[in-house]
Copies of this chain bind each other. A is one copy, B any other.
Amino acid sequence: MSSSDRVRDHAGQGASTVAAHRARRRLRADRARQLADLLRHQVLGGAFPTGPLPHESVLATDYRASRNTVREALDLLRAEGLVERLPGVGTVVVAQKYPHGLDRLMGLAETLREHGRVTNEVRTMGPVPAPAPVADRLHLPSGTDVLYIERLRRLGGLPLSLDLTYIPLDVGAALLGEDLENTDIFRLLETLTGRPLGHAEISLEAVNADAHSAAVLQAPHGAAVLMLERLTHLSDGRPVDLEFIRFRGDRITMSGLLHRSL
């Protein structure tokens, strides 16, 4: 073997070692994600209500995974803020996500009734001339005054969502004297108009919180936020409530039932 052959051979071995190492790491990362998804479901479903998660070695046996994979899966859940490792105790659940129904149109206090008390800090409230996209969606002439409300909503005292709301003034004016701190706008709209709500068009996105929104929600910079845009109509079809809602991603799960045929 010439010396140049030896050099080439050596470089080839090095490259294949690096490639094999990368492949192993990728495989372990794939398996860790797979395991993390299963454990996330258990954690959020309340499978470990009273104590720590099973020991790493038990999880490794139960899920036929290596200890390293288990550790990496738990690291993923820790990065999401769902679990924490306590020295001498193990891995414990530190976060709870609350279920928000996707099956029926409900206000926050209504949908979370079993989970605690919703309180609303009204940050801004007052008439503003409707910008064109708002006027358009509320079926008003552009520039008509609408009621604009900005609320930081808390569950059990902790920030849950930041809601920006536009309401036609003929309906909204009566809201000014109401107890917005403790009552869903949905409920107030039904009481004040004497009509039930009908339906809402919704869209849901995942976005990274900008610095200011993150600060208001007391979430880390760049935290994932579940963004809900919702246009709600009264039962007679009139649009009465346009909302832009940022839910803290670590505190809410939207859930519902879909059917194959309509």
Residues of A within 8 A of B (CB): 26, 29-30, 32-35, 37-38, 41-42, 62-64, 76, 79-80, 97, 99, 102-105, 123-124, 129, 131-134, 148, 150, 164, 196-208, 210, 212-213, 222-227, 229, 235, 244, 247, 249, 252-262
In the complex, what residues of B have CB within 8 A of residue A198's CB?
259-260
| Copies of this chain, tallied across the complex | 2
Question: In the bound complex, do residue A205 and residue B102 qualify as a contact, i.e. CB atoms below 8 Å apart?
Answer: no
Supposing A30-B123, A134-B38 touch, asked if A208 and B222 sit within 8 A by C-beta, the answer is yes
Q: What are 12 inter-chain pairs, A to B, with CB distance below 8 A?
A: A34-B150, A79-B210, A80-B208, A97-B205, A102-B202, A104-B260, A199-B260, A202-B255, A204-B253, A204-B254, A205-B226, A235-B260
The 6 closest A-B pairs by CB, nearest first: A206-B249, A206-B206, A29-B212, A206-B226, A224-B224, A203-B255
Pick from A35, A203, A206, A260 the residue with the most CB of B within 10 Å.
A206
CB distance from A6 to the nearest CB of B (A): 35
Q: Which residue on chain B has the smallest CB distance to residue A26?
A: B212
Chain B residues whose C-beta falls within 8 Å of the C-beta of A259 in the assembled complex? 104-105, 198-199
Which single residue of chain B is at the shortest CB-CB distance from A190?
B260
Q: Bound complex: CA of A226 vs CA of B258, how far in Å?
A: 17
Complex interface: chain B residues within 8 A of A63 (CB): 131
Residue of B nearest to A123 (CB): B30
